[in-house]
Amino acid sequence: MSEKYISRSTAIAARVLGGEMMVMSAVDSTFFTLNEVATVIWQAADGRTPLSIIISDRVCTVFDVEAEVATRDAERFVEELSHHGILLVSDRPFENATAAALV
């Protein structure tokens, strides 16, 4: 299985409101309210850190969840947001990851 790298799209609007991360796609106006786990993944989506490291170092250490469950849920989350153009997914680190990390 190849490694996945995720980066936040620049075609989004994202804000923290009332302690929740709100994200909207500029592509199709899809709106998401992220839970705590999804927010951790979102904030770590710098384009340089592999998804597996985000899961092991951030999700599994902060939340009481097994790696297998966290991986399955994270991959589903990433798939859904990438379908709407909110997260970008690659099998290599993103070259211009700095802009994506500024949210």
Residue 58: partners with Cβ closer than 8 Å, 6 or more residues away = 40, 41, 44
Say how many C-beta atoms besides its own lie within 10 A of residue 76's C-beta: 10
CATH number, residue 81? 3.90.930
pLDDT at residue 1, rounded to an integer: 56
Q: Would you say residue 59 lies in a domain? A: yes
Has residue 36 been placed in a domain? yes
pLDDT at 100 over 70: no
Decide if 41 is inside a domain: yes
Q: Does residue 103 form part of some domain?
A: no
Number of domains in the chain: 1
User: Does residue 65 form part of some domain?
Assistant: yes
| Among 71, 100, 63, 65, CA closest to 4 | 71
Please report, in angstroms and rounded to a whole number, the separation of the first and last CA atoms in the chain. 30
Structural domain range at position 12: 5-90
Q: Looking at the domain assignment, is residue 38 inside a domain?
A: yes
pTM above 0.95, yes or no: no
Residue 96 forms part of a structural domain: no
